């Protein structure tokens, strides 16, 4: 049944408006009648009882703010009358028991993936071309221009065709009004080339702005991240271009590869420009070795694999006031299902765990993980404050406009992505997931930096929830975009894959949506469904420079 308001937790002293509520609207919840004294926009919050200045604002059962002024019953919670506040962290109080969901419907299910020599299983099959340093970016671009179209990996040219039509009109004498308002009907133009390597999904070129000029720690972190991509289950092998003198030395990369994959067996071609000499000689070698690698990559075919071989990255971006009550808890249930099946999930974005740290501390199986999590969070928060910022400055203007007016409100909803299972490991960027279950990974809240990091740590599918809409993708891993509300799903259907607005509308439970999402993940992992980010070639890749990025 569709409701117009929702109380998320029994201890909350605010309600969430599920629809726009005008002034004077009479609403009843749990036998309590409230009359709105302000217009309450959908996704925003309304006080249940009178709240005095200095009183706590509680949502999801946790502290999310303090009242700046008196707020009457029926009054709106806004940036004018609330300031950020969150519960502090304390010693762990173990709560590692959990009610595993019924997974009988999936116990015999498999997905069709690419089995690698180290036992991992990919959901796709890519060859990587990587620069060790930004000085090699132009050479990477030259390789990209030389290989993509001839190998049949060219994308559709819809907008190029439309631009050509408009330019033809300008050449024929069309003025401003005709260019702005004349309808053009340019259909998609597919690449005319067939794929030379039908079992290879593509070649991905990971340009970046790092490798030198920063701190040595930046270079080491970059090498760890690149090693995470080279050893990733979705990667068949890689070509690496090095200048030679940069901070991010090849030896560091090789050490990081061995840490993640002892006895590494994939084809890996590393070319050093200062050693080889002429650029033309290096580029010819790069072409030859990349094509030789693609021949080897093409030998892989999809074979059945247990769902325990899935590692799901959990991400949110462009969040809204419905994120924490629809899409995030839905993928939280998906997470619980996968963990119960022996798979792995990654909950990241540490600035967006502000206020719910204690719950995660208490769920850590090992005390050393609880201690490490506390240390990582406190160090990160301190660095942000020293830079004149802080976790309380994490919500974006779009977040605030759509009801996430403090970081604690945003965080309490964001943490729902992690479900309810115990924490099996706490990882610092860019460490690799090695234990099945729920893993915490220290990353910023920045969508692309965090998604890049989750994949570098081993995620072979990413579930990305959004309430406002975002095109974010990844070069080698399918990023499933999930709308928190039906309006967004309909409005941006070209970049959104799934809808959980059905939960808000009372058409589906959180558990039903979570089960539906897992079924979709299996299809995506098997190559049966192409998600929008892959279809559009949305290859977002931004390494995190270990400074302050919220």
CATH classification of the domain holding 30: 2.30.130.110
My answer on whether omega of the bond before 430 falls inside 30° of 0, hence cis, is yes
Domain stop point among 32, 61, 84: 84
CATH classification of the domain holding 264: 3.40.50
Range of the domain at 335: 311-345+395-401+411-536
263 within domain boundaries: yes
Residue linked to tokens 């010693």 = 91
Domain stop point among 267, 299, 331: 299
Quote the pLDDT of residue 137: 97
Pair (231, 317) in one structural domain: no
95 within domain boundaries: no
378 within domain boundaries: no
pLDDT tens-digit map of 12-41:
999 999 999 999 999 988 888 999 999 999
Beta bridge partners of 461: 312
Q: How many CB atoms lie within 10 A of CB 43?
A: 23
Pair (333, 431) in one structural domain: yes
CA distance 95 to 329: 19
My answer on whether omega of the bond before 280 falls inside 30° of 0, hence cis, is no
Pair (76, 202) in one structural domain: no
Quote the pLDDT of residue 402: 67
CA distance 242 to 211: 10
**What's the number of domains the chain is made of?**
3
CA dihedral 517, 523, 525, 526 (to 10 degrees): 170
Pair (320, 285) in one structural domain: no
Pair (430, 289) in one structural domain: no
216 within domain boundaries: yes
Where would I find the beta strands (DSSP E) of 339-415? 344-347
CA distance 70 to 194: 67
Write out residues in the chain with pLDDT < 70, as ranges.
Answer: 1-2, 91-93, 156, 186-193, 390, 392-394, 402-403, 550
- For residue 205, the Cα-to-chain-centroid distance in whole angstroms is 20
470 within domain boundaries: yes
* CA separation, residue 543 to residues 55, 73, 540 (Å): 41, 46, 10
Pair (230, 331) in one structural domain: no
Quote the pLDDT of residue 85: 81
Pair (332, 424) in one structural domain: yes
Nearest residue to 339 via CA among 510, 518, 460, 503: 518
pTM for the structure as a whole: 0.92
Pair (202, 55) in one structural domain: no
Task: Give me 25's structure tokens.
Answer: 């609207």
Quote the pLDDT of residue 394: 64
Quote the pLDDT of residue 254: 98
Pair (333, 278) in one structural domain: no
206 within domain boundaries: yes
Quote the pLDDT of residue 190: 47
* CA separation, residue 67 to residues 61, 63, 76 (Å): 16, 11, 11
Pair (282, 318) in one structural domain: no
3-state secondary structure (DSSP) of residue 186: coil
Pair (338, 487) in one structural domain: yes
Which segments of 387-485 does DSSP mark as H helices, in order?
397-401, 407-414, 447-456
Pair (341, 472) in one structural domain: yes
90 within domain boundaries: no
| Residues 6 or more apart whose Cβ sits within 8 Å of residue 160 | 189
| DSSP state letters, 313-339 | EEEE-S--TTTTTTHHHHHHHHHHHHH
74 within domain boundaries: yes
Quote the pLDDT of residue 187: 55
Share of residues in the chain with pLDDT > 70 (%): 96
Domain stop point among 34, 54, 84: 84
Quote the pLDDT of residue 32: 85
């Amino acid at each position: 049944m569709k409701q117009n308001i929702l109380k998320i937790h029994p201890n909350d002293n605010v309600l969430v408006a599920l629809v726009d509520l005008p002034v004077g609207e009479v609403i009843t919840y749990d036998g309590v009648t409230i009359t709105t004294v302000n217009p309450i926009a959908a996704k925003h919050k309304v006080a249940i009882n009178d709240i005095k200045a200095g009183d706590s604002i509680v949502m999801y059962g946790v502290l999310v703010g303090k009242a700046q002024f008196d707020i009457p019953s029926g009054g709106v919670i806004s940036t004018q009358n609330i300031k950020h506040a969150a519960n502090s962290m304390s010693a762990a109080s173990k709560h590692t028991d959990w009610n595993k969901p019924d997974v009988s419907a999936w116990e015999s299910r498999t997905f069709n993936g690419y089995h690698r020599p180290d036992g991992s299983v990919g959901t796709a099959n890519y060859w990587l071309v990587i620069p060790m340093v930004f000085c090699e970016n132009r050479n990477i671009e030259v390789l990209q221009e030389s290989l993509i179209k001839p190998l049949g990996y060219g994308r559709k040219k819809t907008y190029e065709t439309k631009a050509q039509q408009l330019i033809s009109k300008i050449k024929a004498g069309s003025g401003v009004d005709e260019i702005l308002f004349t309808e053009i009907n340019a259909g998609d133009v597919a690449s005319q080339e067939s794929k030379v390597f039908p079992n290879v999904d593509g070649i991905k070129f990971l340009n970046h702005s790092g490798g030198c000029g920063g701190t040595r720690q930046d270079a080491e972190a970059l090498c760890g991240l690149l090693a995470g991509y080279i050893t990733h289950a979705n990667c068949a092998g890689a070509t690496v271009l090095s200048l030679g003198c940069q901070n991010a030395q090849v030896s560091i990369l090789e050490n990081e590869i061995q840490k993640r994959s002892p006895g590494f067996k994939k084809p890996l071609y590393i070319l050093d420009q200062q050693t080889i000499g002429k650029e033309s000689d290096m580029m010819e070698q790069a072409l030859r070795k990349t094509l030789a690698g693609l021949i080897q990559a093409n030998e892989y075919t999809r074979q059945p694999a247990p769902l325990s071989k899935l590692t799901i990255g959990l991400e949110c971006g462009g969040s809204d006031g419905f994120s924490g009550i629809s899409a995030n808890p839905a993928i939280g249930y998906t997470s619980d299902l996968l963990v119960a099946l022996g798979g792995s999930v990654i909950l990241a974005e540490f600035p967006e765990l502000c206020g719910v740290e204690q719950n995660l501390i208490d769920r850590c199986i090992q005390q050393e993980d609880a201690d490490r999590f506390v240390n990582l969070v406190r160090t990160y928060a301190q660095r942000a404050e020293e830079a004149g910022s802080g976790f309380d400055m994490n919500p974006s203007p779009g977040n605030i406009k759509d009801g996430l007016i403090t970081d604690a409100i945003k965080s309490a909803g964001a943490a729902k992505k992690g479900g309810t299972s115990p924490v099996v490991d706490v990882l610092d960027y860019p460490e690799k997931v090695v234990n099945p279950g729920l893993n915490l990974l220290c990353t910023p809240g920045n969508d692309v930096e965090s998604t890049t990091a989750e994949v570098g740590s081993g995620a072979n599918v990413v579930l990305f929830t959004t309430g406002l809409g975002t095109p974010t993708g990844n070069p080698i891993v399918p990023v499933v975009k999930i709308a928190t509300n039906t309006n967004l799903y309909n409005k941006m259907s070209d970049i959104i894959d799934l809808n959980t607005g059905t939960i808000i509308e009372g058409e589906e439970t959180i558990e039903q949506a979570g089960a539906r999402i897992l079924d979709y993940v299996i299809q995506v992992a098997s190559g049966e469904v192409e998600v929008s980010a892959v279809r559009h070639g949305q290859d977002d890749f931004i390494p995190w420079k270990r400074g302050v990025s919220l």
